[in-house]
Structures are given as structure tokens and as C-alpha cells.
Structure 1
Amino acid sequence: MPAFNEEENLAATVEDFLTTLAGMEHRIVVVNDGSPDGTGRVLDDLAERHPGRVIAVHHQVNQGYGGAVRTGIAAALDQTDMRRILLTDSDGQFRAEDLLTFLQVQRDERADGVIGYRKHRADPFMRKVNAWIWTQLNRVLLRTRSRDVDCAYKLLDRKLLDDLTLTGEAAAISPELLAKIGAGYTRIVEHPVSHYPRQHGHQTGASIRVILRSLTSLAGVYRDLVRDGLKWRRTRRALTPDDPLLAVVTGLAAVLSVVAAIYYFNQGVVLSYKDAVSHVLIAARVVDSPTAGVAQLGGVWLPLPHVLAVPFVWIEWFYTTGMASSIVSMVSFVITVRYLYKIADGMAGTRWAGVAAAAVFALNTNALYLQATPMTESLLFACIAGAVYHLQEWCRTGRYGQIALSSMWTVLATLTRYEGWVLCLAVTCVVGYTALRRWRGYTHIEANLIFFSVIAYSGIAAWCGWNWIIFGNPLYWQVGEYAKPSLWVTDGDQTVGDIVVSAQTYLIAMADDIGYVTLGLAALGVILYFARHRIHAATLAPYALLGFLPFYIFTLYAGQRPLHVTEIHGDLYNVRFGMVMALGAAVFAGFLVAYVKQARPFVAVAVAATVLAVPGTKTLEEPVAYLDSPGGRIDVGSATWLKENYDGGRVLMQNFGNELVTFQSQLPLGEIIYEGSFRMWEPALEDPLKSKVRWIYMRSSQGAEDGVYKSLHNTPVLNENYQLLYQDADRLIYRAIRTETVR
């Protein structure tokens, strides 16, 4: 206990501990920090009355709180053999009874230390504010995790304090202590402690002199921690990376990502895809909807991209520009480039193969456009690349940490897009085959498959369970009202039932997205890789990147999803599906580089060929073509009218097929009743007036009428209570005649 001018509080505080600890081996060290009042006299009296139990230490001159704590710790270590040491104050604001609880918590948790936090702080309001600011400052600067960094109730194992050097002054001593004891492999837990009002005297911690001294000392503590490598290890590692070339590639990828995003943002095409708009809307409706909550994540599109965007949609600008989701894509792009570098480097054993692979992908205009949008492909690419790299490392080393990381990236992929489910199956096959070749024992094969699958397949199981809970069918994502292939695959599609046309279509889509030159280099790389490594267990992982080729050909053949290319269908639709093969193309083209003499010049040639060989940005041409079509212009026209004329009130509007109108009209999402509005949608379709609907939007496209049109068009409830204000080729907008009844 440090004590400064605690003449009236010291005796009661020490007696409280003496009484509570009676029957237990203990020592109480009190440091009189040069108090000008009678604190020293009271302390000596306590030590005389309780010899061996109270140890008195005196500073002739005041050294401050930090100095008193250091002296007390030194005395406890030198003059006692106690295994546990409690650091507390002598002002009576803490009670000894909490120490018994802390001892029990330490035993139960097998903790090296128990750090107290004041759940109900008995201090004036401004002192609480200052304490909160101080705690947040230390969390940012020193990375302390304590919720109450200066709480004077800390139970520590003696080993944490042996050989520990503390230099902090005033209030900086406590965060320094927490930062240093938390830097090693220690188990520190937090537990609430009671806090009572001070009965006598006054606190000195809020004085300007003490605050300035604390801040100055904290800066010194931070400097020492960085110097000793106890903090900001990642920053230090980034400044001196193990692979400087990878650091350069990562930095260039980040710059390229930002530049591309700014370019496409200025072009006004970030939200050209209707699906891009839908992804932003889903994330926003989790926090702003008549029935806001996680159920708004739906049951068709997988949830991870929307969950990651939720923290950003709170900010209006991020929502209205789509950047809330684009940020996720941009970060994913940089991660993908890093992992492609590392995969190719591992395949060929040369960093220049990694540079070539990274460049082939990063300079692809389709990859750059998709990473600037809220589309989910970029996040999928990052998950695939991460899963394959760590799988490659496991195949090479057999380390279980690597297969665990691969399974974690895989489960993220399965929660991003359904291609992730294909990845999961492909990686499972690699794990099983590698275990078979390496150990040739059933037990080892089973153990490795279970170790991988428990995590990797948990996302698929969770999604099916979610669909079962929310929609009553674990396969709703495949057979639900808005998931049926018939919604997109038209009758007479040339690919359905024709495996040759399906293969041709996907090959053309790959060439549109990646370029024939890059595909040719990648094909040669695959042949060379196979010739050198066959299907050896240690080198099998990169083949997993090729599994998407047969999958997509089969989905086209089976009519599960449509993909149109100009050469066969006369238009573009879902041409971005070919981009998933850019990952395999990049690493195998990079591998080819390693076996060409004078590789460095060839890297430049390969990069130039990639840039020149991609035939435009097909992934951008497709959505722009829709916006220029009659349907796109009608969507924009009705959205513009709504934006200019909407004057408040609930809106009844189906989301499916009208996403662009919902977003561009900037209607408040909390006022829109749509098919995802639980227990509100169907009653509103039956009687919108009773549901207080003021505006009704419906689509009357022949053969593609929306649910609002089918339920309400030409019904008495619509004709008698609502007035048609807007009509074009196939859009109708109504407003209630008597607006006061629906406000």
C-alpha cells in the first residue's frame, strides 16, 4: 500500500486486511511516501502493534505514486517469501473481503494474475470521465486490455514481479505494469471489485501537475516498450520484413486497389451491378429495417460479405456510395495478391515466380474492377487463396497449425459464395490423399480428415441449420422462392443439356476475364508442374485451384446457373464467373516463369502480356449494358421520380427485381415493407391501408410481375384508397388518397 497524507484512513484500511486475513499467512507492506502529516506515525504504531505482520517503509521525501509502488514491490520481494502479492491503496476505497474472492478466482482460473475493475466507481463524475479517457489512451498506445487500467487492486503471482523493471511515474505505473506482465505467456483475468467513497482527505490524481507527469511518463514507457520489442511487434516486423519483396508487392497491391477504387468511383460504376446494390441493402437492413436484425441476412446469399459490411453501413456516406461493402472487397484483393505470391513462391522455390503470379492477378482489369465493388467475388478469392496456401504448407510440412488455418479460410469461403463449397470438397480430397500417401494408415487418414472437416464443414452445416430455423427447410438456399434456377435460366438456353456448348461457354468466359495469352501460359505451367511433380503428396495443393473448371461446366450443363457470352448467346450475363480461374492461372503462369532462363526479364514480358491480352473489362461491360437497356432506364427513371417526390410514410415494395430502385431512390429502409419484413409483408399485401402503407410500388412486366402487382393490381382496396401518380412501360407508383390515415 503506498500512502501519502492518509493519516485518517491508513489505520482502518490496514486493520481491515489484518482482520480479514487472520489465520492466513500474510504480510502488509505500507510505504509512507514522505507524508507531511501524521501518516508515518500511524504506520509505525501499526508496525509496533502487529510485529511481523505489518512492514513499514518510509520515504524521507515524496517520490510520487510510481516511486511508492516500486518501493513497495521491492520490499515485498526482498522482505517476504509470499507467493502472491496484492497491489492496492491505503485510502479505504477498497475492502479486504474482495481479496478472498480474488484468491478463489486465481485458483479456479489457474491464472497468473487477477486484475480488478471497478464496476461501480465511487468517484465524482469528472474523475470518471478522466479515468475513461486515460484507459482508452492506454488501450491504444500500450495495447493494455484492462477495462479499468488504473484500478488499484491487482493480485499477482510473485514470478510476474521478479526481475520486472518499472519506470512509470504517477498514474503511468499501473498501465506500464499491465503492459509488461501481459507481454509474455501469462494468463491474466479480470474480476470486478467493490469501490467505496473516500471518507477522509482528498485525491491528488486529478491535479494538473500529476496529469502532466503521468502523460510525460507514459510517453517514456511507450518508448521503452517499443525499444524492447514488447509492443508494436507487427509494426517492427513490417519495417524489417523477412521477405522484402513480398512487402513491396503487398504495398503496391494496396496502392493499386485504392487507385482503382477511386477511378471506378469517379466513373460512377461501383454500383452498376444490381447484385452489388443488393449486397449493400442486405447489410444495411440488418441495422435499419421495419424488422431489423440478423434475420435480414436472408437464406439465399451467404452471409459473410454482409456481416463484414455491417460495421460500415452505419455511416451514411459509406452506405450511399456502396463503400461499406467495397472496403471488404479491397482488403480481400490485397490479401489475395499476397497469398498468390506465396503459393507460387512455394511451388517454384523462387520469389520471382511469386512476383509474376501476383502481377498476373493484380493487373487484371476485371479483378481491379470487382475489388472496387460490393460484389462478393473478391472476398471469395481471398478465402480460396488463403485456404490453398496453408494447405500447401501442410502438405509440405505436416504441421497441424497449417491445416487448421486452411480449414478456417475454407469455412470463411463456404460462408461467402457457394463456390466455397466446391473448394471445401477439393481441399478435403487433397487432405485425404496426402494423409494416405504420407502415413498409409487408416487411423492417420481418419484423424486428419476429422481435424480438417470439423471446422471446414461447420459453415455449410450452420447455413443449412439457419435455413431450417428461419424458413423451415435446410435446403431453402437451393429450392426457395428466390433461389430456384428457373428464375434465371431461360428455356432454350444453349448450355443446358449440352456439355460441349457448356465447356465452350465457360472457356470463352475465362478468356474474356483472363485472356487467352494468360490461359495459354497457365496451361503450359500446369503441364510442366505435373511433369515435374505428378501427384506427389507434398505438391498436390495447387491443383485444388483447378477444381472450379469442371464445377462450372457442370452447373451450366445442369441448368443450375446461367452464364452468357456474346459469341454464343449474343449478350453477357454472369461473365464474372470465369474470374475464379484467374487464381489458378496466376500461380501456374508464375510457376512457368521459374523455369525460363533469365526469369526477371520474363516477368516483365509476362506482366505486359497479361495487361495487353485481357480483352477489355467484360465484368464492367455487362452491368453497364443493363443500365443502358430499356429495363435499366426504366429502373433509373422510376427511382429518380421517387427520390424527387417521396414525402414520407411507409412504402410497400418487393425487393426482388427492384433492388436498383430501392437503393437509388434513397428511400429510408426503415419505412419499406418488403418480402423480408417478418409478419408485415403478407398483411400489407392483403390490406395496405390497414398496415399504414402510404406508397405502393409495383412492377407490371409481362411474365415477370412482382408480388405487389399480383396481389393488389385492380383490387378495390387499391382503386378506392390509392391514387396512381407515376406510370411508365411497366412501373406503377401509388400514393394513399387520404394521407392522414396512414401517417
Structure 2
Amino acid sequence: MKKFFTFSDKRPRTINQAVNMVKKRKQNHFFGLEKKLSRNAFVKKILSFFSNLISKISWEKATLILSIILSVSSTIFFYQTKDIIAYGDAESHLNIAKRVIHGLTPGAAQLGGVWLPLPHILMIPFVYFDFLWRTGLAGSIVSGVSYILSALLIFKLSKMLTKNSFLAFVSSFIFMSNPNVLYMQSTPMTELVLIVFFVLNTYFFIKFLKKEGDIVSLMLAAFFGFCCTLSRYDGWFLVLTEAFVIVVYTFINKRPLKKLDGRLILYSTPAFYGILLWFIWNFLIFNDPFYFNKSEFSARSQQLAWMARNELPAAGNFTLAFLYYLVTSAANSGSLFFGLAILGLIYFLYDKEEKQRNLISLILAAPFVFYVMSLYMGQSVIFIPLLTPNTFEWRLFNVRYGIMMLPVVALLIPFLFKEIVKKAKFLSLVIIFFLFSLQFFLFFRDKSPIITLTDGVVGLSSAKKVDAQDWLKENYDHGLILIDDYARTMSIIRTNIKMENVIYVGTKPYWEESFKEPEKYATWIIMQKGDQVWKNILENKETEARLYKYFNKVYTSEEILIFRRMGD
């Protein structure tokens, strides 16, 4: 016990020593505190520097510049890898636009009656140039501009919802940097055209919801809704959803019915006009207002063929329809980002600052609901390896449909950082950078990180590459060619054949008369087993006799036959 209470040998022995010791202790304590404060001040300066930097950057300009750089560079990359027209549909879109100005029977009727016309109309100025048509760059220009505008509008829409420019940039960057959207924006496919009109429409419609008297925004939303309805059929469901939202909005806010009538008419007249025009067009050109849904070239007819083979798994099964589109959306957006978007949606729904959150959520959910309904009703089909049975002939098809959810994912994620960014901008920047790095790691750990590209190269969506195509490229010299373009026997743009020399189903009366007198117009006849040319000429004894009387068979394979008229 004595040892316990024994004083240290360093204890002061005089009053002066005690005073000096106290002074020294105070001084040491002060210097230690000063060092700590110095370190804290240094950290604060760094954090303050980055916070000020984040605040001073013009994130809208950054979005514009970065979107242009990414668009051009990715298009150059996929041009060099020759993947711009990997999809079979990509060439079809280019050819539709080309026939309007340079076909055998040019004119507006060449727009057809199944695919909606606006994306093809937008390509017309560019397909005029053969180089842009044959390389697919005519479509890349349209998709690329749509991508840039989409990035800017996602920024504006996100800023309107989060009230923060940095978080708005995060939204636009999620969209801009996505590998699937970077590939699709370099192709002639129609998804990016719909996305830009969807974002434009949504931006102005939400602006109207947030400011009730903003009739100009409602009219602009209606106009871009009109553009949506003429781009892809997804747009039809979007404008229906928004019309429903207007009704709900009026009743929730207890507005008089007169206001409902006025707003509904003001919105619906332009928005639904595109749908009406399409019915009228189908009636005028094909004598059937429902031609787009009933013809042999329609999506419905294709789905019936899948159903006959018992390979339409989601039809009539809501759970599978939901799962197929959920997985496809996650594969396009990235599984991590898609999961964060779901959390962002939950946060948004509980955010009391946003009075119109429920109605806004309805609009953002429209693409998801549309595709789930389409799959359930058997109007659409998606094959994705995770869900498609191994017994199916194809296990990858139409996965690009999931890209329509990317703008929604991009808009929802920033809500998770809404509070953090107010208190610690630098910390939020670090977290967001980490999440982006992790998502890109998850994308590129696979051999095929870009699922939309994989579908275009090896999936059912890919274009056929046949030896007959190379043979024709070397041997074709002149004359009209009879070919079933719908069967995609071979690529026209990959040969040296001019579009004005092609006889196909849309070139009347050449097409019909050639089945009676094959020699009347065509110098070359190309047929694939089972296509319309094969059925109408080779499987008909009379026309088969005329075929061999006037034509020589110059190319034979298991699937394709090529004939050339004698004496030419």
C-alpha cells in the first residue's frame, strides 16, 4: 500500500519547480491542441476546396460536353468494330428511310404500316448519302443527337426534382456512361428516339404538375407525347397514362369538372393525334386501320409463331412477365444501379417535400408497366439466359427493351444522396465514385458486358451473314433484283446493289407481276427456302417453268438460290 501512495521521483521539491512544471504542462497541452486544430483546419480546407469546386462547376455544361464526347467516341469505336448494323432490324430501319427517296417506287408510302414512321422520317436527310446509308451512320446521327438531348433533359428533370445541380449531373452521368446506351446510341435502332421524346414529354408534364397553371408546359408535354406515339408503341401507353394522371390530379386537388375537361382536351388532342394518324394511314395505304397489328409482318403475327412453338414463356403468366422485364431492365441498367433505383423510389415516395410524388411515380413507371403488360398479353417476347429455358432454340432476344428503364433509374438514384450532399458534398462524391466504380466492375467482369451488343452479334436479333451475300457482291453488275426483304435473305447495304434496283413487297406493281412473269422486270432472282419468292415461283409449276425458261441458276446453297436472266 505504501508503494501505491508513493510519489514519483520527479515530484517538485520546491515551490518554483512546481510552478515551472504547471507552466510546462499547460504549454504542452496548448501545443498539442494547436497541432490537432492545425490538422483539422487542413482537412477542413481540403473539404471546403472540393465543396466549392463542386458548387462552382457548371454541371449542365459538363453534361453537354461529356455527352458529345461519349457519343462521338463510342460511335467511332463501334464503326471500327463494324457493329453499328449488327442488328437485323438496324438495316431494315435504314432501308425504309432510303426507299422513301431512292427506291424503285419512291414516296411516303414506303414508310410502311407496321413500324411507326418518325424515326425513319428523321433518317431521310442522312440516308440520301449512300456512304451514311451503307455504313449505318445515317441512323447513328439520329440516335446520337437523341442521346445528347436525352442526357441534357435528364439533367434538367433531375435538377427540378432534387433541386441540386450536382445530383442532376449524377443522374445524367448514370445515363450517359451506361455501356448499353452507348452502344444503342451508335445504331439506327429506334430506342434512343423514343427515349428523347419520353424524357422531353416527362419533363414538361412534371413541370405542369408542379405548377398547376403552367398551360404552356402541358401543351409542350402533349406535343412530345405526340412524337412518342409516332416513334414506338410504348408511347401510346405513355400518353394514356398521362391522360389518366390529369384526371386523378384534378380530383385530388378538388378542381371543378370544367377544368378537367379543358385540360384533358388540351392535352389529349395533340397527344392522341399521332395514334389517330396511324390508324388513318393504315386505312389509306393498306385498306385496314388495324394493319399494323394484323398483318403478317406485325409483332402479333410473330408472337403467334412463337406461341405455336410453345416458346412464349411470359404469355398469360403475370409473374414471369414481371420477372422477365425486371431482369432485362437490371441487365441493361446494371444490377447495382437498378437495386439503388428501387431504394431511391422508396425514398422518393416518402419524401414529403414533393407533393406530386405519387403522380410523378406513375409516369416514371409507365415503361415498366407497358412491357410487363405486353409480355403478359403475348404481344411481345424477351429471351434472357437467366430465365429462358435451355430447351429453347434461342436464349437471347429483344433484351434491348430493358434500356427504356435507364432514364428512370438515372432519375431515382440521386434521391438516396439528397440529404448527404447537403451536409457533406465531398463524402457524397466519394461514395458516388465508389458506386460507379463497383457498377463498372460488375459490368465488365463478364466476357459480354454489353448485353444489347451481344444480342445484336450472337442473339436472335443479329443480322444474317450468308456466303451468298459475298458472292453477289462480287458478281452483281446491273439490273433489277427480286428478293423477299422481310425474310432478310441477305443484306442489301453490304452489297453494291442500289436501292432503286430492288423489287420487294412494297414496290407495286413490280412485286405482284413478277410472281406471274418472273422475267418481266428482274434480271436477278434471289430466293430463300420458305420465303415469298420461293413459295410463289418455285412451288408453282407454271411460274417455275417460266423461271427455268428465262433464267439460269448461278448460285446454290442449302437455303439460298440465285438466278440470273439469260442474255443479260
Same fold (TM over 0.5): yes
Residue 628 of structure 1: CA displacement? 12
Q: Give 1:487 deviation, angstroms.
A: 2.1
Displacement of 1:542: 4.7
- In the aligned structure 2, how far is the partner of 1:472 from the partner of 1:644? 41
Whether 1:443 aligns to 2:258 is yes
Q: Are 1:558 and 2:372 counterparts? A: no
**How much has 1:660 moved relative to structure 2?**
4.5
The runs of 5 or more residues in structure 2 that have no matched partner are 1-55
Displacement of 1:309? 0.7
Alignment partner for residue 279 of structure 2, among 450, 453, 464? 464
Is 1:352 the counterpart of 2:166? The answer is yes
Task: Find out whether 1:295 has 2:109 as its counterpart.
Answer: yes
Instruction: Flag the 1:719–1:289 CA change in 2: closer, same or farther, 3 A.
Output: same
Structure 1 Cα separation of the partners of residues 217 and 352 of structure 2: 21
CA distance in 2, matches of 1:534, 1:579: 29
* Secondary structure in structure 2 of the residue aligned to 1:697: strand
Which of 244, 248, 254 is matched with 2:62 structurally?
A: 248
Q: Which has the larger radius of gyration?
A: 1
1:325 to partner: Cα distance: 1.4
Aligned residue among 585, 608, 625 for 2:409: 585
Change (3 A) 1:659 1:383: farther
Superposition pairs for residues 60-79 of structure 1, below 5 Å? none
Does the 8 A contact of 1:274 with 1:660 survive in 2?
no
Q: For residues 572 and 507 of structure 1, do their structure 2 counterparts lie closer, same or farther at Cα, with a shift above 3 Å needed?
A: same
The separation in 1 between residues aligned to 2:512 and 2:492, in whole angstroms, is: 19
TM superposition score normalised by structure 2: 0.83
TM-score by length of 1: 0.64
Q: Which residue of 2 aligns with 1:413?
A: 228
- Which of 557, 561, 564 matches 1:732? 561
Identity %, equivalent residues: 29
Q: AA paired with 1:521?
A: L
How far, CA to CA, are the matches of 1:414 and 1:480 in structure 2? 20
Q: Which among 526, 533, 538 is matched to residue 713 of structure 1? A: 538
Quick one: higher RCO (CA 8 Å, sep 6+), 1 or 2? 2
Match of 1:304 among 115, 118, 124: 118
| Structure 1 segment 600-611 matched on structure 2, within 5 A | 600-611=429-440
- Distance in 1, Cα, partners of 2:248 & 2:321: 30
Tell me the CA shift for residue 402 of structure 1: 0.7
Report the residue type matching 2:380 in the other structure.
R
Deviation at 1:353, TM superposition (A): 1.9
Contact kept in structure 2, 1:355 and 1:590, CA below 8 Å: no
Tell me what 1:112 maps to. Answer: none
- For residues 351-392 of structure 1, give each alpha carbon's deviation from its aligned partner in whole angstroms, at most 9, with x where no partner exists: 122111111111110000000000000111101111111111
State the alpha-carbon separation in 1 of the partners of residues 341 and 469 from structure 2: 45
Deviations 1:572-598 (A, max 9, x none): 100001111111111001222213353
**In structure 1, what is the Cα distance between the partners aligned to 2:460 and 2:345?**
39
Structure 2 equivalent of residue 649 of structure 1: 479
State whether residues 87 and 461 of structure 2, in contact with CA within 8 Å, keep that contact through their aligned partners in structure 1.
Answer: no
Instruction: Determine the C-alpha separation between the residues in 2 that align with 1:405 and 1:512.
Output: 33
Asked if 2 retains the 8 angstrom alpha-carbon contact of 1:277 and 1:660, the reply is no
1: CA distance, partners of 2:254 / 2:302: 48
Matching residue's letter, 1:531 = Y
1:677 paired with 2:499, answer no
The aligned counterpart of 2:43 is none
| Distance (Å, rounded) in 2 between the aligned partners of 1:697 and 1:545 | 47
Aligned partner of 1:377 among 171, 180, 191? 191
Structure 1 spans left out of the alignment, 5+ residues: 1-241
Q: 1:568 aligns with which of 387, 399, 419?
A: 387
The change in CA–CA distance for 1:535 and 1:560 in structure 2 (over 3 A counts) is: farther
Secondary structure of the corresponding residue to residue 665 of structure 1: coil
User: Counterpart of 1:290 in 2: which secondary structure?
Assistant: coil
Matched-pair contact (CA < 8 Å) for 1:358–1:586: yes
Number of equivalent positions: 490
Contact 2:383 2:397 in 1 (8 A): yes
Match in the other structure for 1:520: 339
Aligned-pair CA distance for 1:622: 0.8
Structure 2 match to 1:621:
454
Matched, 1:387 2:201: yes
SS of the equivalent of 1:508 reads helix
The whole-number CA distance in structure 1 between the counterparts of 2:73 and 2:120 is 24
- Which SS does the other structure have where 1:547 is aligned? helix
Two-structure CA RMSD over aligned residues (Å): 2.0
CA contact (8 A) 1:502 1:557 kept: yes
Aligned mates of 2:326, 2:239 — CA distance in 1: 23
Q: What is the deviation of 1:646?
A: 0.7
CA distance in 1, matches of 2:515, 2:352: 63
Q: Higher helix proportion, which one?
A: 2
Q: In 2, Cα distance between the equivalents of 1:417 and 1:612?
A: 33
After TM superposition, give the deviation of residue 535 of structure 1 in Å.
8.6
Give, in whole Å, the separation in 1 of the partners of 2:64 and 2:490.
35
- Give the aligned residue type for 1:613: L
- Cα 1:659/1:305, change in 2 over 3 Å: farther
- Of 73, 91, 97, the residue aligned with 1:259 is 73
Q: Is the contact between residue 395 and residue 538 of structure 1 (CA under 8 Å) also seen in structure 2?
A: no
Match of 1:173 in 2: none
